Structure 1
């Protein structure tokens, strides 16, 4: 039986573009070219092998955004180990729970985060990144051989956010990661002159797979920044002459409050991307006025995360665009039949970029992957041009008085009001209606608005049955670690938990 073998494409890239800058640390301004990145990855691979790591072993990594993340990621790829970056914002007990689940054979941590791993010190050998790096880099030569790896072998395991239950380990194979990168390069027209700043955390698929790994495949430059600060971000985007960047809507909110962002032309920027959560229309309008291309993406850890392409010159407000070159998309009804244009159904994705499995959870894997299609749990529709629109999560759909109501379209509209900063809409149990549409609204600084004002604004767009019955004004909407509104926290807020 033939086996699809893994190609060490970082090594190939290091031979093609040895002196081009691959990684740049925004904090220290350290620049790492492709030759050095590949050499360091080989040295980390040798270091891990020396400590008994073999094919299939999990290697946990706990750190803020750091160039070493990619060195160890590619090192794992060379020896068949599974790279497991964990959310450093979790509590020690949560880290302990995930460690029990993934049973790592080795753990790397940043010195300032040692407190997170003290309770799991007996689970496996642990090494401080800063201390280990000195030993690793001083070795004259790294690993000169690689085991035979199949494209179906796991390379990455990313834990989901867990806002709807226990975090799940999403296993991404070499095929998953490489296919997503290739699809992104081809569909988004990335070139080696492109540069991005990665603000999304590298424990998240957005920080690793959205732009960083695709740009490294094509020979571009990836600037790594530890924490997002709007003033520093504006300087970084200009100083490093970034041509493409992915931010979450929360980050755009913070940037748009700064006069410097409004006045800066960003001459090298090809496109600003938004992901991680639905983007309010105000952000679209802002970039339209600036005459800089802006587009919204859609993805999930289990698929890419890149799935759609938008031509900025043909952008439609609220659309995520067309299916990318190397993947498949369809929308089905509750009986599994394809829906017609304009009709809402569940979004299914297909392609080599799909995840391999949920770690040690075959039941849930089989629930979401059927006949080669990933059932995303997201509701979508498409128009006559095959442009797709994400309507919301299937589980978030509100059924009130027998009518289907999609929170996302309400959230988008209410956020258009000049006094509103952000809005979230959820359905809460109701004895008469089944569920009642409930809104949470945060206001712009110094703005004032009444419940009646919001109702009147909603009635301009929607039928009375759709608009929220209850309105709650809050200082700020609770967010997950990657900037998504935490609707579970909103529900608990009203329940007094």
Structure 2
């Protein structure tokens, strides 16, 4: 089944319903489905065939999703390149993926390398300049073409999503048509998406959260997607009010900013469902949000390699601190360092198998073999199950701090710091220490109008944590380094030690 089929039900059942709203206007399901047909034909005329890859180096604009689904409809593979990437970063992805066509915009054109550096690229499409493409996008070609989505085997690759950029060399996770459709179905079923829903997306579409969890599932459920180029608080407030947004998706830092803004509540009244991803939400923030808004912040567990959702914290059986139970026919278990399964209440590495798991990393057989062992995908995350089968994320294996022979999970320390009334954001890392091996070290930002010093915060931790878990040093900063998706970059904090 072809990924672009997510539009067929909407085009047949709700042809005049708005599928996409953006700053310049909107498209109905019928209009968007027709445009995707023509974009596929446009790519075919450029010489793109089933075994080719098309690099998408675009901001969050309608052309991004037109080329994403148009490439899938042709049976080729899209390569997702973050618009935040500069020349060196995007060049690496274009070369690594061997993309034959790159689609970009005027604002990103300065970061496109000289064609001599990327000789395998046969065409660079600038979406604002190509007149044939403008005729398609602007609706001058409204007749439905004879093109139908190519029948695809479930394991044929639809897109490359790159992962590992914050910790090492990026790896292209090969997600199949089946991976993406199963993910969209799981999200729709568990979140109870209905055609009347309106979801807002300001996260980069190159990120698994925006692409798989928000965009694909919205169209699969025949709902409406409001697309924004990025996060601006006033613009988000205006969009929620104007478009009567019912579903809101963000990362923890956004929810913290809302809680610190006294105007937030009056602007967010239409929301009936809110969801957080990219990194674990501190339990204290969930409690504050629920008290203030009367809505739980829902979480799931997933990653690029699983096309988003693996577990879901159910709408009607929500548990604060958990990321829920496995969805659909996805299997999850916890194993020790000998790959032996551990029981409820015990911690272990989270391993997964199911129809949502990627085919592997492109041209990286060793990394693929390391990730897939004994038929299971090894996530590198540590978790525990409770007696009801709900999963709790403890931390990343690579982030565990070993101090004086004791293991410290950064999240456990961070959760305590978040309960302090002055702490806005925090991250805990291990710094080299001559005696302990590593020293627990915290970095925090303070809420506006609040004050606290290092001594006060260390004393606060001592009253609530075992002695070896208490930070040896706490750095109070103006801001913490973050990725384009809003995830705090621990590796940048670790560099500060040198």
- The equivalent of 1:298 in structure 2 is 301
Report whether the alignment pairs 1:407 with 2:410: yes
Aligned-pair distance for 1:287?
Answer: 2.0
1:276 corresponds in structure 2 to 278
Is residue 48–residue 76 contact of structure 2 (8 Å, CA) maintained in 1? yes
Listed as ranges, the gaps of 5+ residues in structure 1 are none
CA distance in structure 1 between the partners assigned to 2:209 and 2:173 by the alignment: 14
Q: How does 1:26-425 map onto structure 2 within 5 Å?
A: 27-28=23-24, 30-120=25-115, 122=119, 123-132=121-130, 133-137=133-137, 138-139=140-141, 140-264=143-267, 266-267=269-270, 269-289=271-291, 290-425=293-428
Find the counterpart in structure 1 of residue 452 from structure 2.
449
Change (3 A) 1:77 1:160: same
Q: Deviations over 1:434-471 (max 9, x none)?
A: 22111111111232212221122112321111111122
Once the two structures are superposed, residues 40-85 of structure 1 have per-residue CA deviations (whole angstroms, 9 ceiling, x without a partner) of 0010000000010000211011111111211111111111111112
Separation in 2, partners of 1:323, 1:487: 28
Other-structure match for 2:467:
464
TM-score in terms of structure 1 length: 0.94
| Cα-to-partner distance string for 1:101-157 (whole Å, 9 max, x where unaligned) | 111111111111111114347533111112333143444554524444211111011
Of 425, 432, 450 in structure 2, the residue corresponding to residue 429 of structure 1 is 432
How many Å separate the matches in 1 of 2:480 and 2:193?
35
Aligned to 1:212, the other structure's residue is in SS state helix
Contact 2:53-2:98 at 8 Å conserved across structures? yes
How many aligned positions are there?
489
Cα contact 1:438–1:468 (8 A) shared by 2: yes
Residues in 2 aligned to 1:229 and 1:6: alpha-carbon distance in whole angstroms:
31
TM-score by length of 2: 0.94
Q: Is the 8 A contact 1:56 1:154 kept in 2?
A: no
Segments of structure 2 that go 5 or more residues without pairing to the other structure are none
Deviates more, 1:237-246 or 1:5-14: 5-14
Is the 1:47–1:136 contact (alpha carbons within 8 Å) kept by the matching residues of 2?
A: no
Please give the alpha-carbon distance, in whole angstroms, between the structure 2 residues aligned to 1:7 and 1:418: 47
CA deviation string 1:321-380 (max 9, x = no partner): 111123111111111111122111101122101111111111111111234321100010
In structure 2, C-alpha distance between the alignment counterparts of 1:281 and 1:382, rounded to whole Å: 17
Distance in 2, Cα, partners of 1:6 & 1:157: 13
Say which SS state the counterpart of residue 8 (structure 2) adopts: helix
SS of residue in 2 equivalent to 1:119: coil
Deviates more, 1:423-432 or 1:257-266: 257-266
